[in-house]
Amino acid sequence: MQLLYVRYLASCSVDEIQCVTQTRRRIRCTAKVLGHGTLRGVWTLMPVTAQSGQLALPSDVMAVYNLSALPYQEQMRWRSQRCPQHDATPTAGDLAVADWEPFDPLRHHEHVHTRLPAHRRRSGPGLGNHAPRRAHS
C-alpha cells in the first residue's frame, strides 16, 4: 500500500484493516478503515524500488494499493489506522498500535505481485448469504 509517499506492508488484506481505537466499552473498535462510502485507493502497477543493496529483482513492477490520489487528511487517517467515525473523534485513545510495516521489496518479496489483483465482487444482494442450491439426486 502506498500512502504519504511511503510504501507499507499491511498485516492483512486492504478491506480487513481494523480501526485501532478503543471504544467506550474498552474494547477495540471493530470497524474497518476502509468504511462504507470512504474514498478508495486504486490498485496500480508501480515500480519495485529497492531501498538497499544492488540485488537484481525478478520483476520491475508490483501491484500496490495506491492511496496517493486521496486528500492528505484521508491518507493520514489510513496511516493512523482509524475508521471514519473515530477519525472524527481525536480524543478517543488507541488500543492497538497501527501495524504498518515499511515495505521492503527484498524482505517482503512474497508480497510482490506483478499483476493487479482480480476483483472478487460478491454476487448481488441476497445471493451471498445462502448456501448453494443443491441439485436433486
For 2-27, b/e burial (b = at least 16 CB within 10 A) is bbeeebbebeeebeebbbbbbeeeee
Q: Does 81 bind Zn ion (CB under 5 A)?
A: no
Residue with cell 527484498: 106
Q: Does 19 bind Zn ion (CB under 5 A)?
A: yes
In this structure, which amino acid lies at residue 135? A
Q: Does 29 bind Zn ion (CB under 5 A)?
A: yes
Taking CB under 5 A as the criterion, the residue among 81, 83, 84, 103 binding Zn ion is 83
Total residues contacting Zn ion by CB under 5 A comes to 6
Which CB atom, from 61 or from 95, has the smaller least distance to Zn ion?
95
Restricted to residues 109-128, the positions that interact with Zn ion (CB under 5 A) are none
Q: How far is the CB of 16 from Zn ion (least distance, A)?
A: 14
Nearest to 43 by CA among 113, 94, 93: 113
Which residues bind to Zn ion, rule: CB under 5 A? Answer: 19, 21, 29, 31, 83, 86
